[in-house]
Structure 1
Amino acid sequence: MERVQIKKGQENKYFKGQVNIEYGDLSDDVFLNNGQLISLESHYGEYIGTAILTMEAKAQGWVITRDANVVIDDYYVADLIQTAIDKRTALFNETGTNVFRLFNEIGDGLGGLMIDYYDHHLFVVYNTNGVYQYRDAIMRALIVALKPSSITEQTRVMSDGKLQTENNHVYGNVTFPIVVKETGIDYYAHLNDGPMTRLFIDQRETRKALSRMNKPGASMLNLFAYSGTFSIAAARAGMTTTSVDLAKRSIELIDDNFKLNDMDTERHSTHIMDTFEFLKYAARNNMKYDVILIDPPSFARNKSKVFKVERDYPKLIAESVKVLKKNGQLILSQNLETFTLNQFKSQITSTLEKLGYESKIEDVKGLPKDFPVSKGYKNGKYLKVVTVSLNG
């Protein structure tokens, strides 16, 4: 195993527990390869840990163990997977929910690997070729431990500055989409149809809270709605919903989810529009909502327009409050790793203050328990969902 030193002056954060290797911190990486195991050392040759190089956007690699005697091989990876499965015993036995995260990257010990469980169907995501080298060990461990109905893989590789994704069904018999259940509500999921599966399982707690809101007859506006899962949860609580998304396919996906749950679609509408354009349209037509949920992507491009969540979220809030009923609620979601919860809360409150609104943060949610994060990776808690009530 090659010994690689951290640049002088940068080693202290790794001694304190940081597990993500930042680009520029290695003293010499010219001849290092994706997937290579290295012995990470200080400028003075002190052992820091054994790391795997993954060359992904958010890290050049990950410290896997601080024990120099540990051998990183197929057996080690299989043990990590079995440990992750054991930790989720309660979720396997939970009534009303059969979809959750089974293995969450460095939070479960191996950066670049994600495994999701969809009612006996597995979705394995390799965020880097470096982790893909352990594919056979991962497949064997999953098949032996879980005897899944099917396994679908997704590889995500950066090429020429762009993320390239490819899905492949590799094991078992399945016809997609499948139906999964979350807190008693049915949703469609498709594991072999592009980068997304129709259900963002990290938002489980948000949907649960929506489905339990005591607002019968209230109206909810769901912006960046995608497959409409937030709208389905709100409808379960008795709310009427309006879903907005730019993708034409959203009409079909949202309608399918409503029909799957035997919900009357006449009480719910879908608009295929740019979000900002819809908000202007709603304001012109005096459309008002009791609850507005905003869950934008971190980055999006629509023709000549570019949306960056850290820059443009205040604009979303400013336009949304124009169509929010008095004493209404905003449910604001953001998933940019480099933007902290405190920064997000500050952005929300300062924006509303500038607009002349008194606000109160009613609730804050993050990742569910099946998305463990490493204390050594400060950006791991990427999901932030803040519910704000407004006066004035």
Structure 2
Amino acid sequence: MNVIQLKKGAEKPFHNGKLNINEEDLSDSVFLKDGEVVELTDYLGGFIGYAMMSFEQRTHGWVLSHDKDAHIDEAFIREKITGAIEDRTPLYNQEDTDVFRIFNEIGDGIGGLSIDNFNGHLFITYYSAGIYKIRNLVVQVLIEALSPDSITEQTRFSIDGRMQIENNHVTGNVPEKIVVTESGMRFNVHLKTGPMTGLFLDQRETRKTLLNNKRSHNETFLNLFSYSGSFSVAAAMAGMSTTSVDLAGRTTELVTDNFNVNDLPLDNHHIHIMDTFDYLKYAARKNHQFDVILIDPPSFSRNKKKVFKVGRDYPQLIREAVKILKPGGELILSQNLETFTLNQFKKQIDETMNGLGIRYTLKDVKGLPKDFKTTKGYKGGKYLKIVTIKLAND
């Protein structure tokens, strides 16, 4: 086993539990191989832990164990996966939900690996070529432990310097559309192709809150960056009229299919294939007003010559959205940038609203659901922040 040393001064965070290894932490990483298990030491040779090199966009590797007597072998990997499955036992016993995360990367002990359950169909994501080397063992453990209807894998890592995302069938019969149930709502999921499945599992609690907040059809809900319209479904089932906005042409089909699978008529529900900022300006010109606006943008996107960066451009989204929000209305603000903390996000919201001279109250704050297990050793793992604010009535 190769031994790698931290630079002088880089050891303190690791002694305090840090698990993600960045290139700048290491004295030398040139000779290391993706997927290699190494012994990590401080600059004096003191033992830190055993780590797996995992050349991802986020990190250069992950500490897997601080136990000097540990063996990072097949038994170790197997124990991590079966332990995560056992932790999710209550989720398997739910009557109204059959979709959730089984394994959440370093939160469950192995960085660069996630496993999702879609009504008995498993979806494995590998975030580095190194972690992909253990794929056969991962699949074997899942078949033995769960006897799934099917397994599909997705690789998300650089090949020859270019990020490539591919979905590959592993075993079982994978339908073109898998219907899953979440909090009694039904959603269509697509595992065979594309980088996204059709349902972001980390937003389950947001959808559940929308669903349980019963309203009337006279109240209106605007879903910006709506993708497949799962938030719109939840709002519609709570009784609201909805408007879904997204630039992707496939949005109309995805939203319509999700409404249909829930036997929801499309009356009083609208879909706009537009740039979000263009829609906000259009809605303001038309004097449209909404009771609730949900904003859930990507961290980064490019539309022709426009570049959207969530950390930089979120305040402008808020400024434009409040122009079409009714007095006393609610903004549900979601942000998923790993390097942006909840406190930073709340401060950004507060500064934006104060700059507009608009009074508001903080109504709710949410993060990741429990199946997206996190650890203190990787602060970036708590990437999701959902802040709901309510405007004053005047």
Task: Tell me which interval the TM-score lies in, with the shorter structure as reference length.
Answer: over 0.9
Structure 2 CA distance for aligned equivalents of residues 295 and 194 of structure 1 = 20
The equivalent residue for 2:49 is 49
Render the CA deviation track for 1:23-77: whole Å, top value 9, x for unaligned.
2111111111111111000111100000000011111000000112211112211
The DSSP-based 3-state class of the residue aligned with 2:142 is helix
Structure 2 CA distance for aligned equivalents of residues 192 and 73 of structure 1 = 31
The equivalent residue for 1:295 is 296
Render the CA deviation track for 1:235-282: whole Å, top value 9, x for unaligned.
010000000000010000000000111111021000000000000000
Q: Unpaired runs of 5+ in structure 2?
A: none
Structure 2 CA distance for aligned equivalents of residues 305 and 128 of structure 1 = 30
Structure 2 CA distance for aligned equivalents of residues 40 and 24 of structure 1 = 14
The equivalent residue for 1:80 is 80
Q: Unpaired runs of 5+ in structure 1?
A: none
Q: How many residues align?
A: 392
Structure 2 CA distance for aligned equivalents of residues 214 and 350 of structure 1 = 31
The equivalent residue for 2:35 is 35
Kindly provide the amino acid, as one letter, of the partner of residue 105 in structure 1. Answer: E
The equivalent residue for 1:267 is 268
1:186-205 maps to which residues of 2 (within 5 A)? 186-205=186-205
Q: Are the counterparts in 2 of residues 7 and 27 from structure 1 also a CA contact under 8 Å? A: yes
Structure 2 CA distance for aligned equivalents of residues 297 and 23 of structure 1 = 26
Structure 2 CA distance for aligned equivalents of residues 23 and 382 of structure 1 = 21
Q: Report the alpha carbon displacement of residue 169 of structure 1 after superposing the two structures with TM.
A: 1.1
Q: Are the counterparts in 1 of residues 23 and 29 from structure 2 also a CA contact under 8 Å? A: no
Render the CA deviation track for 1:174-211: whole Å, top value 9, x for unaligned.
21211000000000001112110000000000000000
The equivalent residue for 2:97 is 97
The equivalent residue for 1:284 is 285
Q: Are the counterparts in 1 of residues 174 and 192 from structure 2 also a CA contact under 8 Å? A: no
Provide closer, same or farther for how the CA distance between residues 359 and 160 of structure 1 changes in structure 2, counting only shifts above 3 A: farther
**Structure 1 position 226 matched with structure 2 position 234:** no
Structure 1 CA distance for aligned equivalents of residues 387 and 15 of structure 2 = 34
1:283-362 maps to which residues of 2 (within 5 A)? 283-362=284-363
**Structure 1 position 177 matched with structure 2 position 151:** no
Structure 2 CA distance for aligned equivalents of residues 95 and 131 of structure 1 = 34
**Structure 1 position 235 matched with structure 2 position 211:** no
Provide closer, same or farther for how the CA distance between residues 159 and 305 of structure 1 changes in structure 2, counting only shifts above 3 A: farther
TM-score, scaled relative to structure 1: 0.99
1:69-218 maps to which residues of 2 (within 5 A)? 69-159=69-159, 162-217=162-217, 218=219
Q: Report the alpha carbon displacement of residue 162 of structure 1 after superposing the two structures with TM.
A: 4.5
Q: Report the alpha carbon displacement of residue 163 of structure 1 after superposing the two structures with TM.
A: 2.6
1:354-373 maps to which residues of 2 (within 5 A)? 354-373=355-374
Structure 1 CA distance for aligned equivalents of residues 214 and 351 of structure 2 = 28
Q: Report the alpha carbon displacement of residue 215 of structure 1 after superposing the two structures with TM.
A: 2.1
Structure 2 CA distance for aligned equivalents of residues 23 and 4 of structure 1 = 12
Render the CA deviation track for 1:271-304: whole Å, top value 9, x for unaligned.
0000000000000000000000000000000000
Structure 2 CA distance for aligned equivalents of residues 174 and 44 of structure 1 = 52
Structure 2 CA distance for aligned equivalents of residues 160 and 350 of structure 1 = 43
Q: Once the two structures are aligned, what percentage of the paired residues are identical?
A: 56
The DSSP-based 3-state class of the residue aligned with 2:14 is helix
The DSSP-based 3-state class of the residue aligned with 1:142 is helix
Q: Are the counterparts in 1 of residues 122 and 150 from structure 2 also a CA contact under 8 Å? A: yes
Provide closer, same or farther for how the CA distance between residues 383 and 161 of structure 1 changes in structure 2, counting only shifts above 3 A: farther
RMSD: 0.9
Provide closer, same or farther for how the CA distance between residues 280 and 162 of structure 1 changes in structure 2, counting only shifts above 3 A: farther
Structure 2 CA distance for aligned equivalents of residues 193 and 266 of structure 1 = 31
Structure 1 CA distance for aligned equivalents of residues 373 and 161 of structure 2 = 29
Q: Between 73-82 and 85-94, report the one with greater CA deviation.
A: 73-82
TM-score, scaled relative to structure 2: 0.98
Provide closer, same or farther for how the CA distance between residues 33 and 100 of structure 1 changes in structure 2, counting only shifts above 3 A: same
1:6-21 maps to which residues of 2 (within 5 A)? 6-21=6-21
Q: Are the counterparts in 2 of residues 75 and 137 from structure 1 also a CA contact under 8 Å? A: no
Q: Report the alpha carbon displacement of residue 161 of structure 1 after superposing the two structures with TM.
A: 5.8
Kindly provide the amino acid, as one letter, of the partner of residue 299 in structure 2. Answer: S
Kindly provide the amino acid, as one letter, of the partner of residue 339 in structure 2. Answer: T
Kindly provide the amino acid, as one letter, of the partner of residue 33 in structure 1. Answer: K
